[in-house]
Each structure stands twice: as structure tokens, then as C-alpha cells.
Amino acid sequence: MKFSRIASTGGYLPEKILTNADLERMVDTTDAWIRERTGIEKRHVALDGQTTVDLAEQAARQALADGGFSPGDIDLIVFATTTPDRVFPSCACLLQQRLDIHGCAAFDIQAVCTGFVYALSVADKFIRTGAARRALVIGAETLSRIVDWSDRSTCVLFGDGAGAVVLEASDEAGILSSHLHADGQYESLLTVPAGVSDHPERLRAGDAFIEMKGNEVFKMAVNTLGRIVDETLDASGLDKSAIDWLVPHQANTRIIAATARKLDLPMERVVVTVDRHGNTSAASIPLALDVAVRDGRIRRGDMLLMEAFGGGFTWGSVLVRF
């Protein structure tokens, strides 16, 4: 078996919802501003004590059940997150223990909003080389823990959630190609400028939050995602008319619409969840995929283009025959 294919999907959003009206009571903003600039109407936020792995476990169990798999069928766990439960063990290991899986490779990937694209690409390579047969690939975040809830320029953007897929070996190509990039020279435009080793005093003081030069990130995202569309189509020799669905990272409807225009895709062929989920970073693509598979829009055989851009900067795409 030379290829990998997505066998099943799962998703989970925490119960607590924060609407734009709620944010109007917290910072100097308006529902109209948030909708117009971002397309976001509400987002889900984890409860106190509810962790990234708690959300991931729900999404993973749904993906396993959806495909008729038991945890013992999994021989690789790749977990994309920017907001891990602990410094260590990794979220992948914590999830492995929850699912009562023992012995297989399990590790985290940190590529911020591009995390799921990275994770899917890495898992695909494990399967193609024969190192794994069935991988659980997760994107899960509790971004609410690194949002400064008094900063109106960032707190309106983010949400919490988890998405999962089971990727398995196949004779037919599911993942057709993947394209990963990063350029660390832009690290200061989108960052949490403190951590375990750098400014640990800020982390200890509870002063380690997302900082973003939104306008510059916006321009870079639109241009870079335009280029990744070209790169992906060129590599596969496909015309843009072959794409049935764009399943983009959900940061902002204006960024998503720009990529759709580049593909000549009407918005009816774009999976948009940012209005209800906000930006859930590594969770946004698998959550969007799960929503569109579950509501019957995405069907077996459809051609999907997933793309993402995020802190690092990192960016990438995956072309998928679902």
C-alpha cells in the first residue's frame, strides 16, 4: 500500500460559548466591527480545568467510532497544538494513555495555525514509508489560555476546539501532495513572547499572551496563501477547476475569500466555520472538515484543498482525494 487516505473524522467544541455581545461587555468593541473585519459571530471557550487533551479525547473518540476503529488499531499519534496541557509529557502521550493505546510512536507538532497541515503531512510520510499503518492525527487548542482578554485587537479572534482524523494505508491515493514552509524572520509579527526558557518570569506572572501585528499578518497571509495555491496545483498538474472544496484555516473570512477568488471557487464550495468557531489555530481545519463531512457537503471522491498560515511564520497545504 503506497498511499494514505482519510478514513474518518471527528470534532469537539467545548460547551461554553462566547458571543460578540459578550465581548462588547468585556472590551471596547462592537458586534458590527468584529463581523465586518473578521466574519466571527461567536466562539467556544474551554471551561476552567478543561484542557487541550480533554477536547482532543472527545474528537479522537468520535473519529475512531466514525471509522469503526478501536484504539488498538492505531499505531501512530501525531498531535498538533500550540497550547499543550503540560511542558511534558506531550499531548500525544497524554492522549495515548487516555485511549489505552500502548507502545506506538506519539509526538506533538508545534506549527501554530499550520499545525494540522504539518501533522497530516508527517503522518502521511510515516504511512507511505511503511512505518505506520493507521494514524490518529489531531489538531486541538485551548487558545483562550494565551489570549489577553483585555486586548480588543486579539481577544475577539480566537476560540477553543479539537478536530481529528484517522489516516490509514491505502492502495489508492488519498493525500495527493503536501507542501510545508516556514520563515522564522517574521517571528515578531505573531508571537507569545515568553515561555519556559525565554522570559520565564512573564510566564510565571501570567503575562504571556498572543501579540500580533494584525495588519501585517493579514497582508502576508493573503499573499502567501495565493502562492501556496499555485504551488499545490503546479505540483499535481491539476487545473483549479479540479478542486471541489477549499477547507482553509479559519482565521478571517476576508483572508478565506481571497484564496477562494484565487481558485475561482464560489463561496458555496468553501467550508467556512470561522463565524461560529473563531480562529482555533491547529484545530480549525480538522474541525471544518468534520463539520462538512458530517453535514453531507463533502463526499467520498471529492477533491479537497486544505491550506493554512500562522505564527512562525509557517504555512502549507494538503491536496486530498477524500
Please identify every residue annotated as catalytic.
113, 249, 279
Residue number with CB closer to ligand ACO (29 or 236): 29
Torsional sign, CA 82, 83, 89, 92? negative
Are the C-beta atoms of residues 143 and 81 closer than 8 Å to each other?
Answer: no
| Closest CB 285 distance from ligand ACO, rounded Å | 12
| Window 102-131: residues binding ligand ACO (CB under 6 A) | 112-113
**Which amino acid belongs to residue 184?**
G
CB 164 within 8 A of CB 13: no
Toward ligand ACO, which CB reaches closer, 11 or 312?
A: 312
Q: How far is the CB of 22 from ligand ACO (least distance, A)?
A: 13
State in angstroms the smallest separation of the CB of 216 from ligand ACO.
8
Would you state the torsion angle of the CA atoms of residues 206, 50, 316, 310, taken in this order, to the nearest 10 degrees? -30
Stretch that binds ligand ACO, among 28-36, 229-237, 238-246, 294-302 (CB under 6 A): 28-36
33 binds ligand ACO (CB under 6 A): yes
* Pairing assessment for the beta strands 190-191 and 17-19 based on DSSP bridges: unpaired
d(CA 180, CA 248): 15
Q: Does 38 bind ligand ACO (CB under 6 A)?
A: yes
Exactly one of 55, 63, 222, 251 binds ligand ACO (CB under 6 A); that residue is 251
CB closer to ligand ACO, 46 vs 166: 46
Residues 145, 212, 253, 288: what is their CA dihedral angle, to the nearest 10 degrees? -40
Burial 183-221 (b: 16+ CB within 10 A, else e): eeebeebbbbebeeeeeeeeeeeeebbbbbeeeebbebb
Interaction of residue 283 with ligand ACO, rule CB under 6 A: no
The region of 26-34, 131-139, 161-169, 298-306 touching ligand ACO under the rule CB under 6 A is 26-34
Q: Could you say which DSSP state residue 143 is in? A: G
Strand arrangement of the beta sheet that strand 76-80 belongs to:
3-12, 160-170, 134-142, 76-80, 105-109
217 forms part of the interface with ligand ACO (CB under 6 A): yes
- In the structure grid, which three cell numbers stand for residue 20, read together? 460578540
Q: Which span sits near ligand ACO by CB under 6 A: 127-135, 196-204, 211-219, 228-236?
A: 211-219
Of 71 and 214, which CB lies nearer to ligand ACO in the complex structure?
214
The least distance separating ligand ACO from the CB of residue 189, rounded to whole angstroms, comes to 9
Per CB under 6 A, 285 contacts ligand ACO: no
Q: How far apart are CA 15 and CA 89, in angstroms?
A: 26
Q: Is 133 in the site for ligand ACO (CB under 6 A)?
A: no
89 prior amide bond cis, ω within 30? yes
Q: Which is nearer to ligand ACO, 174 or 310 (CB)?
A: 310
- Distance in Å, CB of 46 to ligand ACO, minimum: 16
- Beta carbons of 299 and 322 less than 8 angstroms apart: yes
Closest approach of Cβ 309 to ligand ACO, in Å?
A: 6
Specify whether the CB–CB gap between 284 and 194 falls below 8 A: no
Which member of 59, 255, 287, 304 binds ligand ACO (CB under 6 A)? Answer: 255
Q: Which residues bind ligand ACO (CB under 6 A)?
A: 29, 33-34, 37-38, 112-113, 152-153, 156, 190, 214-215, 217-218, 221, 251-252, 255, 279, 281, 310-311
